Structure 1
Amino acid sequence: MEIKRRDFLKVTAAAGAVAAIGLPKLNAFAAGQAPAATGSMKGEWIASTCQGCTAWCPVEFFVQEGRIDKVRGNQFSKANGGYVCPSGHLMIPQTYDPDRIKVPMKRTNPQKGRGVDPKFVPISWDEALDTLADKMMELRKNNEPEKLMYMRGRYSSTSTDLLYGTLPKIFGTPNYYSHSAICAEAEKMGPGYTQGFFGYRDYDLAKTKCLVVWGCDPLSSNRQVPNAIAKFNGILDRGTLIAVDPRMSASVAKANEWLPIKPGEDGALAAGIAHVLLTEGFWSKEFVGDFKEGKNLFKAGATVDEAAFVEKQTHGIVKYWNIELKDKTPSWAAKKTLIPEEQIIRVARAMGKAGSACAVWMGPGVAMTPRGTYAAMAVYALNGILGSIETEGGVFQSSSAPVEKFPEIKKSFIDEMAEHHGHGKKIDGRGAKDMPAMMSAKPGSGVVTNNVANGLLKNPDAIKVFISTWSNFVFSATGTQRWEKAMAKMPFFAHMVTNASEMSQYADIILPATFAPTEKLSIIGNMANLHGHISIQQPVAKPLWQVKSEETEVMWLLAEKLKSKGFANLYDYYASFEDPETKKKPTNASEFAEIAARISSQKVWNGKEKQKGDQIAGWADFKKKGIYNSETYKYKKNWGKDNPETKKFEGKFKTETKKFEFYSETMKKALGEHAKKHNTTIDDILKSSGYEAQGELAFVPHYESPKRHGSDKEYPFTFIDYKSRLNREGRSQNTVWYQEFKKVDVGDESWDDVVKINPIDGKKLGIKTGDTVRLTSTTGSIVTKAKLWEGVRPGTIAKCYGQGHWAYGRVAAKDYAKAQPRGGNNNELLVDDYDRLSGATARNGGFTGVKIEKV
């Protein structure tokens, strides 16, 4: 084809003009005159907090003439060092997304289903809240307040109590559920049943000599991305980076050692490494203890006398060896994991030489599987063997910052109906014989988020009014088809979100939420880099639309509506709040939001209690700086000591023995309580819950074979789900920046959705890069494009979570009007299953088998 340069310029100029005319205005500023260059305009940095992942990084926005132009990490932050990760920059296009919900809307088409037009029409906030209040009062009139359900997605860590912890309690329903169990809850079981800490860990990356990244990618996700990005080079300069992952991630690309493990075999690898650490004498003598005679008796296949070993900060190391580890040799582990024996030994020795400066960073890839609790315990136990618990370069519990609680909900605010109905059975199934959900070592205490859909399908009359905020379970939960069926039958659903998502298509009322980082006033608490922090979220620019904060403003307005209809208890509680300085009580929604923020953060700025961390000179100073940093976490903070007076060891870990438990007395007690409740044995509980362990094996970290849905013959490929560094918890796909920069995820493509297939498998299937393929599991199927890629081991396929939206906006969906997705949603493939000891959703570890067909 030939074309002259002059003709080419004419064509491209004309095409550019047409494109410019056809482009939608991205935000309100597009209508005005183009602003001058940034350098010639005055502006200011305003502090707030990102909520793109659970790092909740303190940030600052550069605002010029009311427009947000830039974002960076808060310069005072010790958690992120003043930096923001790639996804943080997407907060700007998210704020100005033209597809955001701008006003309240109501459904006019009673039919509900995928692809069914809800025929939403705009209404006022007054009408929307009147409608919701009427539906709620109808439940109370019929003496069935328990048929109100609230479910939350992302939330503020402090003001969440004003909705999640208050509305159900005062109204009288036990049915309120957090999204957490579909996120990463099962990994908490590792430190929980060994160390007594059921939480997300911190890491002393500035002093780590050997970092083992296991089942996660800290450079892309998993709670400390800016800090990890800043610290990785130092780790590589000082020592060794080891990555355990079936696919090549950003962290793998930096690693000295990559162990592309067979999915689901994490417990086997952990056992093999532990075997080497003990037989070669690499355990921490300071933390674990030693043999009385000083001679190492840990020999492969040999039982050890418990009396021969004297433990210090730990309990049950010899039991652990005798019950589980003595036969779990590297050779055995190699057969299970498909990792060469010599590499397992080499990696174990590298970890052992680093000793207490070796940190094992465990992620959801280890634990969010049908038997994930024990895999999490096995991997985390390596930190105990190495003695890297609260040591230089080791693993730490979360640092905290001094948040003040809101006023107590007194009995006067809870009427007889609420008291009677508020403690009934929850529909998520927690506490059932086959769903122990033993978070925090208390049977029935863990939320089982994804099982709510099953509860609704089993008993459609259980819930009549459903309120949900910042959520999209129809897209984000495995086995999404169940949620679509359940939501289609929901009598009344009010959804409060920034964008009309898949779940919104089933709503009767949609309420426009503030985009929290740029439009909401709240207080966020979190930790990273050995510091806890309290940071502010505040409006950094005037909202363009009729958005409100779900946890404060909307709750105040809803409480006013309920009061006008005869139920004043919720309003009376909120109205009892007092400003900590002026003692003024709120009279409207905006005053309530500010007073709530001032109450929860007052300890760090009111000057009444001298803090060990930053010194803040009042509320105005706190708003300007945007953050309070706690003091540095103390090394060995929870290590116990010998008491010379009592001549006893006094431990500080929150376990039954107050020590780090390789033999978990804490697990033994919790399982015993659950078995007693159901009048059966622990062995029966484990068997009915789908675990293999029986007897004493149940109380030590141990290997359980992976549970797989789909036969190897019919579904020969193991499916791996992972997260994008741009996902922002799945809420950023409707931004052009997300689609354009998708290629920053290793192996992915911009404006596309691809499944990574090893070239060896591709050749066998006759599939080439760019071919359209259908992936099918026992649950469902999706259509996407193939990409032959050596970054995934043969027999496994990997696909990033995030694409596949059919209703999140014009960019996220291929055709929003026709409900056609851009690519496929992984959760339509992943089977609805659980790690039942925690209640967490299984979504990792290769438990779902798939088949691949060329379309």
Structure 2
Amino acid sequence: MSESMKVLPMSRRRFLQASGIAGAAGAAGIGAGVMPGFKTIGKAHAAPAPEAGGGTVITKSFCHQCPARCGIDVYTTNGRVHAIYGTLDNPISNGKLCPKGHYGTYLLYDPDRFKGPMKRTNPKKGRNEDPRFVPISWDEALKTAADRLNALRDKGESHRFGLLFGRGWGATDAGLLGDFAKLYGSPNVGINHSSMCSDASKKAKLCADGNYSYNSYDYENTNYLLIFGASFLESFRPLNNNLQAWGTMRSKAPRTMVTVVDVHTSTTGAAADRLLLTKSGTDGALALAMAHVILTEGLWDRKFVGDFIDGINRFKSGEIVAMAYSQEDLAKRRELEAAAAVKKTESDKKALADKAKLQADIDSLRVKIEESDDEKIIPGLKKALADLEKKAEGADKLAAAIKEQRGALGQNAKPQPDPAVGETIFREKWTLGLLEWWNAVLKDCTPEWAEKITTIPAREIKAVAKEFGSTRPAIALFERGATAHTNGIYNGMAIHALNALVGSLFAKGGLGYQSSVPWGKVSVKADKFMDSYAMSSDRKKPRIDKVKTDAWPMASNMMQEIAKNHLKGDPYKMDTLMFYLTGPIFSGPECKDWEKSMAETYVIDTSPYPGETAVFADLILPDHSYLERLQIADTYPFQGYPIAMIRTPAIKPLYDTKVFGDVLIEIGKRIQGPMGEYYKQLGNTESMIKQMAKGFEEKPGSNGVNSYESFVQKGVWFKKPYGYRQVAGEFYFWDGDTKSYSKQMVPAEVKDKLLKTPSGKYEFKSGYLADEHHAHYVHEKLGIDLELVGFPQYIPARHPGGGDLHFVSPKLAAQAEGRQANLPHASAFMQPTQGGKREVFLEIHPETAAKRGIRNGDRVRVKNDIGAIEVVARLYTGIRPDTVALPMIHGHWAQGRWATAKERNVSGSTNEITANVSEPISGLACYHTGKVFVEKV
């Protein structure tokens, strides 16, 4: 930290006197040690004194440490927060928290927090440049931001203002950005970090089932969990509930079987029944081979997928399946039917003959018993008779069944007509394109083929496929471990196809999608405040990340492209960048480009804490910590039924900070023209939240929440159960009157609400990808033949960097929302598989290390074409020999006293050696596809 970024004993009075006390910025330091880019840090400033009296208060809120949004009870005594527990009647937390749920208190009382708004006085920017911040009042801070935005608008350059955000929490923060962008006239307001998160998993599902979303999962009722590259017990959302569900899955009867596919042994892999260490980027080949086995073994769900009309499985390895009946097919069918009829007749004759012989044996035994005078043999004869009579009961039933069947065939049953020549040979129900997919791709994707690509033995692939196909219900889930590659969408489509083949979509123990919350409407409408400038055709500028242009026509966000596009001036240079809950200067691939970009732009940082972005910031507008906020949000996908959360302040703000949503509204009020009037009428976020909570009056929750007041009291609104269910190939609505899934859905309803593809079915041949414009783009970028672009398939990933080892940066259970590196409590158990304390290690296989002369504990250099960092190596047999892993945690150079302490053994961010390469369809940054060299320092 610098003298200008230290903790100051701020008060409201300080800001009324800001212009007169700017020189006080150098009064007191905040810690011990020296960090690059800052001056010596002094003694830590003491935490604010607690209030006298008041007793203990429990406030309902929800956690900020991951996307899960678990309900929390915050305990405050005498004005000081001292404990956080999971809310008992919140369906996600159920009274429990994961290890990182307790970080809130540390963050609230973090001595490195910003105490109020500040402005930069040093015009030079760089890692080693002290910003020389001075405190200013909120009036000055908001006016400074608004004046800059007004000046851009006056010049017709509003597009040169961008607002980038990370974890959007709801309508009163990220939800405000759409209207701000529209009214102000910038396409760059509201660019999300989703392209540096998990966009490919959502896009893969859009291609297949029409939903651009994450799945909800019915884990507790599933019997098989197949995990591709998702850290289920470390960081997969919602982690807290996953840990709870794991206990249920692994102890119920039948016990849920778990197979994990990864490149190293994670906590999840160590706890699974089977771990398959696949070659980096080859998950799709493995999934395709599994699909091949499921079809050739006849294990697909016929009630959901469909079947061959005559019931004969024609899926044979390497053989094309005819799309329709030919004359030869019909002749062969009649031949097989005739042979089967003869076989059945002979079987029936034998069964009747056996029955007659059995009856004769019974009659003979009865005569012997009646005529025998030898009391010694009579008991044995009687026992033999009883055994024969028991067998006769079964024979009688079989004979009756044969007679009934013959009668039905002769009198009541209508003969089934032969299919006509040209009639489809396979009748699909809720899927589309299965035979085409088989013929074009899948027929050759044998386990032996996949073994050569993945290095996983064919016998293992067959075993997992048979387990998955025969253990219903089953779930195949995946995340960016499988999709953060240049072939990521096709990997994801191949994995998701397994869910369709076994009928798991919207089924009990399967997966669905999250339902929306019935929020009330906010009374003020932005569309009524659009001025001629905002509506001008000149405002239709391309986004700085080039989304929806020829460069990235199918992506939703491309945050990782912004810095390099700005540096090139393509499509233009940015003037001002504002950041909310995102720090790409550390977390973006080839992150040093952001340092160059921010050195040229005016930067506004809204974080409550110092960090790399703040070093380059011109204006600091600090947010509250999350325990001081009033804020609402829908849940991330959970179990499908709608859930809404509310954060209520557990304590008055310790310092002169403002919640981000109100900062944005206050800037909006200061924009000239109708836009300013809109935000004046909107008021503030509290007014919005109260209006939105009115939606619960008409639709009260299952927990009785029906107003803003009851929402605050409970902390959560939810409506159980999930509204839809697929049962044996039929779809049903939940009927509240009968308390059952009994109201059948028609195909149009299924298409509207569940399978939202062009066909209203799960598409093995994606209509989205087969669209002419999309198909040509995919053909150009990935080299796939135009007629094949719609099918799940394997294409080799591209591995940039120039190294000889695959490099991955996995998430761990203690990782929180970007602040964990400065939490000693978190770092103490950050990498449990390696035993790291206040540090993390590079996982490297012993054989790989030996070839490079590296021993356990040696300091090594990890380098490639992009850059180099140094770290301590830890030999680990749980990783593939062709792969090294380093969690993306440490390597901060400006986050706080603990994050930059000398004990940290990582010299820089993992993203200093991560190439800025993206999956071409979704735009997801390929964090796990790069290669590196590793050498002893």
TM class by shorter-chain length? 0.7 to 0.9
Q: How does 1:810-829 map to 2 (within 5 A)?
A: 810-814=897-901, 822-829=906-913
Show the counterpart of 2:213.
199
Deviation at 1:433, TM superposition (A): 2.9
Distance 1:531 1:78 in 2: 11
- Answer yes or no: is 1:262 the counterpart of 2:279: yes
Q: C-alpha separation between the residues in 2 aligned to 1:224 and 1:308?
A: 43
Alignment partner of 1:775: what SS?
Answer: strand
Q: Percent identity?
A: 31
Quote the residue 1:44 is aligned against: 57
Question: CA offsets, 1:103-149, max 9 Å, x none?
Answer: 11111111111222111122221221121122112112222222211
5 Å-filtered alignment, 1:731-810, equals 731-744=819-832, 746-810=833-897
Q: Residues 267-288 of structure 1, C-alpha deviation per residue, up to 9 Å, x if partnerless?
A: 1101111111111011001110
Q: 1:424 to 1:795 in 2, by over 3 A?
A: same
> Which amino acid counterpart does residue 603 of structure 1 have in structure 2?
G
Kindly state the Cα deviation for residue 399 of structure 1 after the two structures are TM-superposed. Answer: 3.0
1:163-201 Cα deviation digits (max 9, x unpaired): 311222111111121111111111112221111111011
1:651 Cα offset (Å): 4.4
Of the three residues 233, 249, 252, the one matched with 2:269 is: 252
Distance in 1, matches of 2:76 and 2:93, equals: 21
Deviation per CA, 1:665-693, whole angstroms, max 9, x where unpaired?
22212xx135xxxxxxx34x22432x132
For 1:123 and 1:707, locate their aligned partners in 2 and report how far apart those are by CA, in whole Å: 49
SS for the counterpart of 1:523 is strand
Aligned-pair Cα RMSD in Å? 2.6
Shift of 1:529: 3.2
2:461 to 326, 330, 344: 344
- The partner residue of 2:689 within 597, 610, 614 is 597
Name the residue aligned to 2:799. 708
User: Could you say if the C-alpha distance between residues 474 and 295 of structure 1 is closer, same or farther in structure 2, counting changes exceeding 3 Å?
Assistant: same
2:201 matched to 1:187?
yes
1:433 to 547, 550, 557: 550
What is the rounded CA distance, in whole Å, between the counterparts of 2:640 and 2:766 in structure 1?
Answer: 27
Name the structure 2 match of 1:663.
765
Pick from 629, 633, 648: which aligns with 1:538? Answer: 648
Aligned equivalents of 2:565, 2:758: Cα separation in 1? 34
Counterparts of 2:923 and 2:640, CA distance in 1: 29
Match of 2:668? Answer: 559
The CA distance in 2 between the partners of 1:651 and 1:528, in whole Å, is: 21
CA positional deviation for 1:635: 4.7
Structure 1 residues 557 and 167, CA gap change in structure 2 (3 angstroms): same
Q: Structure 1, residues 776-813: CA drift from partner, whole Å, max 9, x if none?
A: 02211111110001121111001111111001000111
CA distance in 1, matches of 2:630, 2:45: 25
Question: 2:509 aligns to what?
Answer: 393
Secondary structure of the corresponding residue to residue 529 of structure 1: coil
Change (3 A) 1:753 1:278: same
The residue aligned with 1:727 is 815
Question: Mean alpha-carbon deviation: is it higher for 78-87 or for 344-353?
Answer: 78-87
**Residue 262 to residue 612, structure 1, CA distance change in 2 (3 Å):** same
Using the TM superposition, give the Cα deviation of residue 824 of structure 1 relative to its aligned residue in structure 2, in angstroms: 3.1
Contact 1:479 1:832 in 2 (8 A): yes
| Shift, 1:23, TM fit | 11
Query: Match of 2:47?
Result: 28
Please state how far the C-alpha of 1:826 moved relative to its aligned partner: 1.0
Partner of residue 400, structure 2:
none
Report the alpha carbon displacement of residue 648 of structure 1 after superposing the two structures with TM.
8.1
Question: For 1:245 and 1:704, how far apart are their aligned partners in 2?
Answer: 18
1: CA distance, partners of 2:45 / 2:242: 33
Which letter does structure 1 place at the counterpart of 2:504? Answer: S
User: Aligned letter for 2:587?
Assistant: S
Paired letter, 2:855: K
Query: How does the TM-score come out when normalised to structure 1?
Result: 0.87
Distance 1:532 1:540 in 2: 25
Give yes or no for contact 1:190–1:379 (8 Å, CA) kept in 2: no
Question: What letter matches 2:513 in structure 1?
Answer: Q
Residues 436-451 of structure 1 mapped to structure 2, 5 A cutoff: 436-438=553-555, 446-451=556-561
Q: Which amino acid aligns with 1:268?
A: A
- The AA in structure 2 aligned to 1:614 is N
* Structure 1 position 404, deviation (Å): 3.0
Change (3 A) 1:423 1:57: farther
1:581 corresponding residue in structure 2: none
Higher mean C-alpha displacement, 120-129 vs 770-779: 120-129
Q: SS state of the match for residue 621, structure 2?
A: strand
Read off the aligned partner of 1:573 and give its amino acid letter. Answer: Y
AA aligned opposite 1:850: V
**Measured at CA, do residues 412 and 87 of structure 1 come closer, stay the same or move farther in structure 2, by a change above 3 Å?**
same
Aligned equivalents of 1:614 and 1:603: distance in 2? 15
Q: What secondary structure, in the 3-state scheme, does the structure 2 residue paired with 1:396 have?
A: strand
Confirm or deny that 1:294 pairs with 2:311: yes
Please state whether the residue corresponding to 1:834 is helix, strand or coil.
coil
What is the CA–CA distance in structure 2 between the aligned matches of 1:71 and 1:834, rounded to whole Å?
Answer: 39
Check conservation: 1:235, 1:241, Cα contact below 8 A. Answer: no
Aligned residue number for residue 523 of structure 1: 632
User: Does residue 572 in structure 1 map to residue 589 in structure 2?
Assistant: no
Q: Verify the 8 A CA contact 1:320 1:700 in the aligned structure 2.
A: yes
Please name the residue that 2:925 is paired with: 841
- Residue 729 of structure 1: CA displacement? 2.7
Secondary structure at 2:694 match in 1: helix
Q: Which residue of 1 is the match for residue 494 of structure 2? A: 378
Decide which moves more: 230-239 or 785-794.
230-239
Residues 32/648 of structure 1: CA separation in 2 closer, same or farther (3 Å cut): closer
Question: Amino acid of the residue matched to residue 467 of structure 1?
Answer: M
Return the letter of the residue paired with 2:460: Q
State how many pairs are aligned: 778
- Change over 3 Å in CA distance of 1:282–1:326 after alignment to 2: same
Q: Could you tell me which residue of structure 2 aligns to residue 119 of structure 1?
A: 132
Q: In the alignment, residue 466 of structure 1 is paired with which amino acid?
A: L
Inter-CA distance 768–447: structure 2 relative to 1 (3 Å threshold): same
1:754–1:799 contact (8 Å) kept in structure 2:
yes
1:466 to 545, 563, 577: 577
Distance in 2, Cα, partners of 1:113 & 1:415: 39
* Cα distance in structure 2, aligned partners of 1:447 and 1:554: 24
Could you say what secondary structure the match of 2:838 adopts? Answer: coil
Q: Distance in 1 between matches of 2:50 and 2:535?
A: 56
CA contact (8 A) 2:839 2:905 kept: no
Residue 365 of structure 1: how far off its partner (Å) = 0.9
1:76 paired to 2:167: no
Q: Any stretches of 5+ residues in structure 1 without a counterpart?
A: 1-17, 439-445, 578-585, 587-591, 675-681
Q: Please give the secondary structure, in 2, of the residue aligned with 1:512.
A: coil
- Which amino acid in 2 is paired with 1:737? H
Q: 1:673 aligns with which of 769, 773, 780?
A: 773
CA shift in 2, pair 1:790/1:151, >3 Å: same
- Once the two structures are TM-superposed, the CA of residue 371 in structure 1 deviates from its matched residue by 2.0
Deviations 1:72-130 (A, max 9, x none): 22222112323211111112101111111111111111111122211112222122112
Counterpart-to-counterpart distance in 1, 2:936 and 2:715: 53
The separation in 2 between residues aligned to 1:302 and 1:501, in whole angstroms, is 59
> Which residue matches 2:350?
none
Q: What is the CA deviation profile of residues 462-513 of structure 1, one whole-angstrom value per residue up to 9, with x for unaligned ones? A: 22122222221101111102111111111x2111111121111111111111
Q: Does 1:86 align with 2:86?
A: no
Q: Whole-Å Cα distance in 1 between the matches of residues 805 and 309 of structure 2?
A: 50
Determine which of 715, 730, 747 is the counterpart of 1:626. 715
Equivalent residue number for residue 9 of structure 1:
none
1:422 to 529, 539, 548: 539
In the other structure, the counterpart of 1:616 is 705
State how far apart, in whole Å, the 2-side matches of 1:427 and 1:157 are: 24
Distance 2:625 2:745 in 1: 56
Matched, 1:359 2:461: no
